[in-house]
Homo-oligomer: A and B are copies of this chain.
Amino acid sequence: MKNSVSLQLHVPEPAARPGQAPDFNWVKVPAAGSVTRPDISVEPGAIREHAYTLIRVLDDSGDAVGPWNPKLDLQTLQRGLRAMMLTRAYDNRMFRAQRQGKTSFYMPCTGEEAIGVAQAMALDHRDMTFPTYRQQGLLIARGWPLVDMMNQVFSNSRDRLKGRQMPIMYSSKAAGFFSIAGNLATHFPQAVGWAMASAIRHDDRIAAGWIGEGATAEGDFHHALTFASVYRAPVILNIVNNQYAISSFQGIAGGERTTFAARGLGYGLPSLRVDGNDFLAVHAVTTWAADRARSNLGSTVIELLSYRAAAHSTSDDPSKYRPADEASHWPLGDPIARLKQHLMALEVWSDEQHSRLAVEVDNEVRDAQREAESYGTMGTDEHHSPATMFDDVYKEMPWHLRRQRQELGF
């Protein structure tokens, strides 16, 4: 009845470790334009292959090709480029601010800017977003003031979150940007709940959630997909596969044997895999998924294939676990460079314009930082009074918190 092979535990290993040459041969990159674009009313079962391929619009020469070309007007493309560059400039300055002791912590999204930015632009500004800590691009693309974001990062006297949250844990009801969760994945099924509520109230707003490929292993990922499928919730479920979860490569999250988009198939949800560094492709699939949601066709799962080009956070040193030059070998390139190339291919953009814009956005960040710093930084003592620490635990402060506030001397 049984053979006598001795069993072995398989522990996934990445293609390359520090000291080895980067190896991305295993990343299959289909030609831009090669994937069909079905109607939004398609039966999910008919497009299962879309979970295993890669939707791409921008080809190697920067031309937009194929059925997923969203045919965005020039102004939209330039807005997108600007927002991505602003996001990168913001990340760079905030990362440095941490090194200068102005904040305790920072997390950049370098290399992943197309995701937050293009998706914000493809959604309606009234739609609700449930991001992770790596979608600052959403807030920036929605035009939220950098100064307000920095106030949070600096935990200063104008920090709307009153210094309570770690840096980058933004929250803005006005911007439709849900309070970032420290506990991975918790927000993902909450996005589904929000969407269910919108459906219960016959509203027309939809929700979108983001999750890292690493965090898909949490139970809450499964809860999100289950509830989204059962109730056909109007929600877009985005998986950002940036290859890493702190030190562990995507194989440890379950990416060795299939794609992350494939997860969605198990729930009967249409699942698209997209080149996450291709602004146009990201915009196009997000629009498709949003249209489905708005048409009561339910939820779509999107895997955005990208690469975390920088450290996980200011506390991390990626050279400890991956080849130092791996980022430059990432086969899908850099989202900003690729959109720039596209605009240049369209002959509406030049290197000079690009350099000028780079200076412009950097100045914008610098000015914002100057203002935010005038309200205090982590090092200074300009923050909210310790008395505020007892507010908002409950709507009304109960007796025991009043007593504790007194104990502290307030």
Interface set of A (CB-CB < 8 Å, partner B): 1-12, 44-45, 48, 52, 124, 196, 198-204, 206, 217-223, 226, 229-234, 251-254, 256-258, 262-269, 290-291, 294-296, 298
CB atoms of A202 and B6 under 8 A apart: yes
Known contacts A7-B202, A266-B264, A296-B5, A257 near B44 by CB under 8 Å: yes
| Nearest CB in chain B to that of A264: its residue | B266
Closest to A263 in B: B266
Q: Is the interface of A mostly helix, strand, loop or mixed?
A: loop
* Minimal beta-carbon separation of A184 from chain B (angstroms): 13
Contact B262 A262 (CB under 8 A): no
- Chain B residue with minimal CB distance to A257? B268
**How far is it, in angstroms, between the C-alpha of A338 and the C-alpha of B34 when the chains are bound?**
50
Give A7 to B297 CA distance when docked, in angstroms.
10
Residues of chain B lying within 8 A (CB to CB) of residue A202: 6-8
- Flag if A10 contacts B231 (CB, 8 Å): yes
Interface contact A231-B11, CB-CB below 8 Å: yes
Q: Cβ of A11: which chain B residues have Cβ within 8 Å of it? A: 231
Number of copies: 2
Interface pairs (14), CB distance under 8 Å: A1-B124, A3-B295, A7-B201, A7-B234, A8-B202, A9-B231, A45-B52, A219-B222, A221-B222, A222-B222, A226-B253, A230-B253, A258-B265, A258-B267
- Residues A254 and B232 in contact, CB atoms below 8 Å apart: no
Q: Which 6 A-B pairs have the closest CB atoms?
A: A219-B219, A257-B268, A258-B268, A222-B222, A266-B266, A10-B232
Smallest distance from the beta carbon of A70 to chain B beta carbons, Å? Answer: 12
Bound Cα distance A295, B7 (Å):
8
Residue of B nearest to A125 (CB): B1
Task: Establish whether residues A9 and B196, one from each chain, have CB atoms under 8 Å apart when the complex forms.
Answer: yes
Which chain B residues border A296 with CB–CB below 8 Å? 5, 7-8, 10
Please pick, from B12, B217, B226, B258, the residue contacting A217 in the complex, using a CB distance under 8 A.
B226
A203–B199 CA distance with the chains assembled, in angstroms: 52
User: Are B262 and A266 neighbours in the complex by a CB distance under 8 Å?
Assistant: yes
Q: Could you tell me the distance between the alpha carbons of A405 and B45 in the complex, rounded to whole angstroms?
A: 61
Task: Give bound CA distance, A168 to B45, whole Å.
Answer: 40
Please measure, in the bound complex, the distance between the C-alpha atom of A124 and the C-alpha atom of B2, giving whole angstroms: 7
- Given A4-B204, A9-B200, A298-B10, CB of A265 within 8 Å of CB of B268: no
Q: A219-B222, A256-B268 are in contact. List 18 more A-B contacts (CB 8 A).
A: A2-B294, A3-B291, A5-B295, A7-B202, A7-B206, A8-B202, A9-B199, A10-B296, A48-B48, A221-B222, A222-B222, A229-B258, A230-B252, A254-B268, A257-B269, A258-B267, A258-B268, A266-B267
Contact of A290 among B2, B6, B264 (CB under 8 A): B2
A197 CB to closest chain B CB (Å) equals: 9
Q: How far is the CB of A272 from chain B (nearest CB, A)?
A: 14
Given known contacts A265-B266, A294-B2, A226 and B204 CB-to-CB distance under 8 angstroms: no
